[in-house]
């Protein structure tokens, strides 16, 4: 069974007679443990689609289900519980709390959910070491580089055993080397933890790390391509061909 199902999803903005469809009858499924990239030019609908999946927004019509949970008809209280238990976000702007240290930012989701931090000490240490930020735990975000802040945001997203990691242009503020390190980490986490990752990007060099890519144009899925286990450079060439 698919972990996430999107059926005939459309999103309309504006008044009748003067409206624009950001999404038009979009259909696809996401399997548990998949690494999916959503690509498209500015205005293609990729961010709107991500917002609908993450429940930041609701579609005008259509169905979105997480396993058997209907995201479209759910109440705000139900969606709040769903988000806290199942979704972690990584945004280009990091969304770190400036008045909290690195360690306090990382454990924040656990505290919000009322979980005992002591029960997660081993995992916290493992994540901090894997992301090479264990030496930064007492620093505040304004003392960190862009790449370090991004790593803290990823650590925070990984800490509470959620089901889906949603990444919106995660490498936007990183240089090439740090971008590659981050995406390799995404791939490793996806493989080791079977964590579903849904990533929006406009960059083929970022998308090549995904297992499957949906290419949007004018609110519709124009093409879909999958990584067949060949090398990533060959997959990158395939992506460039698909978006030409």
Q: What is the mean pLDDT of residues 215-233?
A: 92
The pLDDT confidence band at residue 222, using thresholds 50, 70 and 90, is very high
Question: What gap in Å lies between CA 188 and CA 209, rounded to an integer?
Answer: 10
pLDDT at 184 over 80: yes
Give residue-wise pLDDT tens across range 134-173. 999 999 999 998 778 878 988 888 887 688 999 988 887 6
pTM for the predicted model, two decimal places:
0.85
Phi, psi of 23 (to 5 degrees): -135, 145
Predicted pLDDT of residue 100: 96
CATH number of 4-95+163-243: 3.40.50.300
Task: Say how far residue 184 (Cα) sits from the centre of its chain.
Answer: 15
Contact 40, 215 (CB under 8 A): yes
Q: Where are the domains of the chain?
A: 4-95+163-243
């Amino acid at each position: 069974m698919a972990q996430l199902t999107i059926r005939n999803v459309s999103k309309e903005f504006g008044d009748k007679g003067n409206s624009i469809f950001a999404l038009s009858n979009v259909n696809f499924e996401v399997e548990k443990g998949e690494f999916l990239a959503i690509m498209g030019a500015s205005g293609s609908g990729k961010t709107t689609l991500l917002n609908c999946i993450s429940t930041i927004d609701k579609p005008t019509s259509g169905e979105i289900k997480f396993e058997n949970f209907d995201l479209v008809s759910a109440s705000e209280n139900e969606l709040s519980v769903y988000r806290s238990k199942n979704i972690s976000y990584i945004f280009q702007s990091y969304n770190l709390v400036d008045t909290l240290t690195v360690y306090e930012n990382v454990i924040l989701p656990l505290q919000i959910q009322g979980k005992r931090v002591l029960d997660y000490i081993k995992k916290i240490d493992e994540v901090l070491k894997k992301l090479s930020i264990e030496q930064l735990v007492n620093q505040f975000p304004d003392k960190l580089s862009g790449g370090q802040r991004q790593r803290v945001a990823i650590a925070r997203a990984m800490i509470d055993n959620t089901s889906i990691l949603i990444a919106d242009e995660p490498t936007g503020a990183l240089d090439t080397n740090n971008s590659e390190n981050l995406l390799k980490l995404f791939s490793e986490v996806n493989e080791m933890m079977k964590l579903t990752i849904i990533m929006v990007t406009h960059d083929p060099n970022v998308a090549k790390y995904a297992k499957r890519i949906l290419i949007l144009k004018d609110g519709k899925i124009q093409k879909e391509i999958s990584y067949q286990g060949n090398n990533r450079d060959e997959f990158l060439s395939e992506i460039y061909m698909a978006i030409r």
